[in-house]
Structure 1
Amino acid sequence: MSALEPAADPAAALAALQGALSDPIVRDLAWLLFSVPLLRAQPPAGPLAPAFETAQEEAATLVWLRELDRDPAALHQAIAATRITRLGRYAECLLGFFLQHGPACRLVAANVALRLAGRTIGECDFLVETASGRRLHWELAVKCYLHAGGDRAELADYVGPNLQDRFDLKLAHLLGHQLPLSAREEFAALGHRGPWQPQMFVKGWLFYRWGETPPVPLPVDPLHHRGFWVTRGDWAASHARRDDARWAVLPRLAWLALRPSVADQDAAAAGLMTAEALSERLAQPTGPVMIAAFERDPLAPGRWCETERGFVVPDEWPEQARAYALSIA
């Protein structure tokens, strides 16, 4: 069985794939499967979870995604069956659909709760079996972290937009608590025959203060998806002068893949607006807001395509983020 060789340019390969897909949810699923992980492998406790065991499975998945894009009703029904508001839950539903219906790993069980003395001590996200018979325990995490600014580059410097999550704490919880769950004696009593090999399935975006390029911490994959962040006060100087662009506010469940291109006649319905209109919206007192820039597609006249994304944060956010990054857990 041949090992799957990584694409020479993962970003270009993902862009080409998504260029062939039009349904937003199918695009999100493709992004989840083919995007670069946020983290490097963390041996011995945290190996990465490859979505495919062989190059043949990857090729079959590409065909499967294109067919799904032509008729995505089953995927839409699976997503609509649960009222999803959290990005992590959305990603779980996408990956679960692939494991149930896609041409690669087989889903054995999902969200397997482990209880001790009547209380839940954790859940295993996915138990999967490969075509070769390997039994894997996948822990899925999809995260958007903002670098708190400055030249320091440690995982603690990457914080959630609402300052309720931090990358170093998430990784420590993955390695120290979530991944070891399937090796516990209590887990064996649940009836899922092992042993299970734990693996991390960690995807997402990292955002850097506009104009700053700090070094990347060793655990982070240097090819990770990147965006920007600016304060409301800096918005006008950094981006609002771009009269050639259109802008959109992205709801939480649109934080995965780049959004599909938009035709001129559909721009208003898709929420695209001028920089001036976005500035007026950002003037309303709110927390961090994710936005996306759309520019004219040079290969498709009359269409707008997403070219970058980022967060606009309150003016007091950088000081709060730095304090949170330096705080003792």
Structure 2
Amino acid sequence: MHPFKHQCVRDLAWALGSPPLVSGEAGGCVWPEQRWFAHILAQARPWLQSVDAQPAELQQLLQVQKDRRLGRYFETLWFYWLQQHPRYQVLARNLQLVIDGETRGEIDFMVYDLAQKKTLHLELAVKFYLGEGDTRSMSNWYGPNRHDRMDLKVAHLRERQSVISHDPGVRQHLQQLGLQVDECRVILKGRLYYPWRFGGGVPGGQPIAPSGSAQGHLDGGWLTLEQFDKAFEAGDKFDLLIDRGWLSETPLSDVGKLYSKTEVISLVSAGKCRVPLHLKAHKPQQSAVFVFLTDM
């Protein structure tokens, strides 16, 4: 049984405790490893239980958010945790860096760490990438709409977003606001979807992770409609993750309807569901797996 009753609290726990897609250090900026997130989640569990008992404040915060993109939702979950934590003081959120009428960029969070007596610059992102071809290269990992590529996103975070405070003009601007960056952290989470023969439990070899990705990252598989028809049996069931279930898992008790393979194919063929389509596959006597149905 899942420990939390409410989806928003399950998503909050996922945002805090799930493994990163990339970890290590670059440009003097730390990309935390999984043990850091696991420690956060372990410490937060009693608090999460209290939020689950009275979720109205979190639900209200999420409902009034005008930007419905998943990335903003992810940021808001982290903001909710940061602003209640006795160790941290949120100094700025989504800080637009407008200097002499020119927008230089944006800082996701400026947070004062009372324990270390340091000001932290936090950059957050949540991404879902599908790998094709030589999956060892980040350049072969695409977002569902293919306009987003893993290597470009990681490079942007490493070479632009995380080091933006190194720019003399930005540094001076922050000082005028009474801010100074002492340390930077990048939090990049999500899931990597491997070609189905690797990522979906079908025999065919071991998945080859992109170079530079973190060990233990979350994964799934992707396939075309034709491959989907061949890969699954008539008795398999599917949860359509259209506006939920991207972050934490949704318990079956909360799923309104599970679809058969035939129903999924009919919905896509009739244009009632568009690809790429995010699914959770439930095969008898097997663990559920996240699946992307696409026309790649």
SS at match of 2:77: helix
How far did residue 82 of structure 1 move? Answer: 1.5
TM-score normalized by structure 2?
A: 0.86
Instruction: State the partner residue of 1:168.
Output: 151
Amino acid at match of 2:290: R
Q: Does 1:221 align with 2:189?
A: no
Distance 2:37 2:134 in 1: 40
- 1:206–1:103 Cα change, 3 Å: farther
Instruction: State the partner residue of 1:197.
Output: 183
Residue by residue over 1:135-189, the C-alpha shift from the partner in whole angstroms, topping out at 9 and shown as x without a partner, is 21010010000002x3441110111111110000001111111111223333442
Q: Does 1:311 align with 2:295?
A: no
Distance 2:113 2:211 in 1: 30
Pick from 38, 44, 55 the counterpart of residue 61 of structure 1.
Answer: 44
Distance 1:105 1:66 in 2: 20
How far did residue 43 of structure 1 move? Answer: 2.9
Q: Does 1:26 align with 2:9?
A: yes
Amino acid at match of 2:166: A
Distance 1:154 1:72 in 2: 41
Report if the CA contact (8 A) 1:105-1:128 is conserved: yes
Instruction: State the partner residue of 2:118.
Output: 134
Distance 1:234 1:98 in 2: 41
Please, what is the CA RMSD of the aligned residues? 2.6
Q: Report the identity percentage.
A: 30
Report if the CA contact (8 A) 1:85-1:253 is conserved: no
TM-score normalized by structure 1?
A: 0.78
Give aligned pairs, total: 283
Instruction: State the partner residue of 1:117.
Output: 100
Distance 2:87 2:38 in 1: 10
How far did residue 204 of structure 1 move? Answer: 0.2
Distance 1:141 1:130 in 2: 21
Residue by residue over 1:264-310, the C-alpha shift from the partner in whole angstroms, topping out at 9 and shown as x without a partner, is xx65xx232222222211223433111112467x8xxxxxx982111
SS at match of 1:211: helix
- 1:56–1:283 Cα change, 3 Å: closer
Instruction: State the partner residue of 2:231.
Output: 238
Residue by residue over 1:182-208, the C-alpha shift from the partner in whole angstroms, topping out at 9 and shown as x without a partner, is 233334424143233111110000001
- 1:261–1:69 Cα change, 3 Å: farther
SS at match of 1:207: strand
- 1:237–1:72 Cα change, 3 Å: same
Amino acid at match of 1:202: L
Report if the CA contact (8 A) 2:20-2:214 is conserved: yes
Pick from 248, 266, 284 the counterpart of residue 280 of structure 1.
Answer: 266
Amino acid at match of 1:259: T
Distance 2:40 2:291 in 1: 34
How far did residue 38 of structure 1 move? Answer: 0.4
Q: Which moved more, 1:48-57 or 1:193-202?
A: 48-57
Report if the CA contact (8 A) 1:61-1:102 is conserved: no
> Where does structure 2 lack aligned partners over 5 or more consecutive residues?
199-205
